[in-house]
Amino acid sequence: MKNQINIQNKRARFEYHLIDKFVAGMQLSGTEIKSIRSGKASIVEAYCVFQDGEVFIRNMHINAYENGSFYNHKPRGDRKLLLNRKEINKIEKFLKVTGNTLIPLRMFISEKGWAKLEIATAQGKKLHDKRQDLKEKDDKRAMDRAMKKYK
């Protein structure tokens, strides 16, 4: 039941230094998973919070399911992430330091058909770090163009 759903947060690698990655399941209702399987979700504005010993994702947008009638879900509700205790403790310890955050990188459907979310512990980049990344990207593009002429 391998599905080709791969919803990414492309701004995450530009805005943050990624430190550690985790793969978490999500606690979803029936209409939410149906919308995700049809590719109607976004994690660009989403972020994760630690609350009462559990990790939640906030501001993740999942469109309402077309055939859901009055059983539909809220598009921007909090959703619980399913992690084991060791991972939760590691995340909690990391988030106690000022300037550290937990961000979603990509949402996908696993081989078993479960909706999974790849999250990362991260630190925000400074403006000069972002400029350096853009400079490296432009240099790589220029080198690729030059190499293409000689092939």
Q: Which domains does the chain have, with CATH numbers?
A: 6-125 (2.40.280.10)
Strands 61-62 and 54-58, sheet pairing: unpaired
Per-residue pLDDT of the chain (151 residues; tens, 9 = 90+): 455 788 888 888 888 899 999 999 999 887 888 888 888 888 988 989 988 989 999 999 888 877 767 677 777 888 999 999 999 999 999 988 888 899 999 999 988 889 999 999 999 888 888 899 899 999 999 999 999 888 7
Give dist(CA 63, CA 71) in Å, integer.
13
Asked if residues 17 and 122 have their Cβ atoms less than 8 Å apart, the reply is yes
Query: 102: buried, middle or exposed (CB in 10 Å: 19+, 13-18, 0-12)?
Result: buried
pTM, entire model: 0.78
**Cβ contacts of residue 67 below 8 Å, gap of 6+?**
none
Cβ atoms < 10 Å from Cβ of 12: 19
Closest CA to 57 of 86, 92, 29, 26: 26
Handedness of CA 51, 55, 61, 67 (dihedral sign): negative
